[in-house]
Structure 1
Amino acid sequence: MKVSLRLAFFSIAATLAYLGLAVWAFGGWTAFMSRPPLLVIAVVTLLLAGSALFTEGNLSSGVREDRGNRWVIPAIGGLGLLLVVLAPWTDRLGWWTFGGEGMRWVGVLLFIVGGVLRMWPVFVLGKRFSGLVAIQPGHRLVTTGIYRTLRNPSYLGLLVNSLGWALAFRSGVGVLLTALTLIPLIARMRSEEALLKAEFGEEYEAYRSRTWRLLPWVY
């Protein structure tokens, strides 16, 4: 698969900025790298960003889009930016933090699991995976693999990944920001479901009746 140089540059720049803000908020490279769990977080972040270059995810509005849902993108982006900065900052200050090094490693584990779960559906869906709520050309339902049980595994991955980041910094504020991310995510899931129902009708209704939106046996 050919990787766009423009996309690669943007991805690398955004990832370095992401990590740079976290390092700055934590007190600099020396402080950040003195914590092995945070070093692992940095490496995994770079690996996930690198893997994203080989997906076909896009921001295409396709053949039909729910434009009224676009507010969700800056909402999730804003909460994510606050998480990137406030989790390490509160950790450095020792404000509203909990646990010790063990908690950091729990966070690392969740960060990795969430990151993989976030990226997996992007590879599975290919060009049908859009950052917008849209029906793509040749769109069809995927109901096998992880989609046999969950309708939104990538969003679950985003939440688990965010929670992992928060716990890696032992940050109560980070956990709260992760919880707040549910608000725009639920709005987006509802919008997507309405669009898919309009496009696929009874086929989607049957699929929805036998699956979970986000978490098996919970929601």
Structure 2
Amino acid sequence: MVVRVIFIVVATAAYLALAVLGWGGPQAFFSHPALAALAVVLFALAGVSMFAGGNLSSGEREDRGNRWVLIPLGLIGLLNGYLPAYTDRMELWVMDGNAVRWVGVVLFALGGALRLWPVFVLGERFSGLVAIQPGHTLVTTGVYSVIRHPSYLGLLVNALGWSLAFRSSIGVLLTAFLMPPIIARIGSEEALLHAQFGEAYQDYRARTARLIPGFY
């Protein structure tokens, strides 16, 4: 637990530091109300995540061929930490209006909550790898009764919110770049779950959406 807390605090502080650096330093960053609020939400989500489950275990069965997606997801995440803030400061490809920033803060909070919700629901069955964990069961209630991958939808909304908080068109583009590895990851997860749960998963998949009902 201690290692987990230290990792979350360090990773969160480092991510915020990228944005602060891109925006020209702490004084400039935290003097802006929307960006100060963004930082508060970031650390609030990090605090909540300390009490969630989840792991990086390969469990009883893993699709190791999907690990490559961690590289583009990580690289895009790092770029999105810095570039939106930098382009905001440089007035490069930015959107007009301060209201965009606050919309971004709200989306960042909502996306972060949706990202964490499934972790609380699944607990230790939630893995950063595509894997079947010990005692793995198929959850089809709550948010899972509507969409099969709420955590990935939360990740996308969260990333979009971060970009909008900096009025960054480049950040929005980076968020779009998250889609190919996420879609590849979804495909691998669904194949593994179908192999594990068979017809039960096939029936579940027939009545739910991957990410957005009526669209995908």
What CA distance in whole angstroms lies between the structure 2 residues aligned with 1:99 and 1:159? 22
What CA distance in whole angstroms lies between the structure 2 residues aligned with 1:65 and 1:207? 21
Task: Determine the structure 1 residue equivalent to 2:119.
Answer: 122
Following TM superposition, by how much is the alpha carbon of 1:150 offset from its aligned partner in structure 2, in angstroms? Answer: 0.3
CA deviation vs aligned residue, 1:59-97 (integer Å, no higher than 9, x gap): 010000000000111211110100010000000000000
CA deviation vs aligned residue, 1:137-173 (integer Å, no higher than 9, x gap): 1111000000000000000000000000000000010
What CA distance in whole angstroms lies between the structure 1 residues aligned with 2:3 and 2:105? 30
**Which of 149, 153, 158 pairs up with 2:150?**
153
Following TM superposition, by how much is the alpha carbon of 1:117 offset from its aligned partner in structure 2, in angstroms? Answer: 0.3
Task: Determine the structure 1 residue equivalent to 2:76.
Answer: 79
Task: Determine the structure 1 residue equivalent to 2:181.
Answer: 184
Task: Determine the structure 1 residue equivalent to 2:55.
Answer: 58
Task: Determine the structure 2 residue equivalent to 1:175.
Answer: 172
Task: Determine the structure 1 residue equivalent to 2:196.
Answer: 199
What CA distance in whole angstroms lies between the structure 1 residues aligned with 2:91 and 2:13? 25
1:87-106 to structure 2, matched below 5 A, reads 87-106=84-103
What CA distance in whole angstroms lies between the structure 2 residues aligned with 1:11 and 1:168? 22
2:33 is the counterpart of 1:36: yes
Which runs of at least 4 in structure 1 moved beyond 4 Å after TM superposition?
A: none
What CA distance in whole angstroms lies between the structure 2 residues aligned with 1:99 and 1:180? 23
Q: TM-score, normalised by structure 1?
A: 0.98
What CA distance in whole angstroms lies between the structure 2 residues aligned with 1:51 and 1:108? 17
Which consecutive unaligned segments of at least 5 residues does structure 1 have? none
Following TM superposition, by how much is the alpha carbon of 1:99 offset from its aligned partner in structure 2, in angstroms? Answer: 1.9
Q: TM-score, normalised by structure 2?
A: 0.99
Task: Determine the structure 1 residue equivalent to 2:109.
Answer: 112
Following TM superposition, by how much is the alpha carbon of 1:190 offset from its aligned partner in structure 2, in angstroms? Answer: 0.2
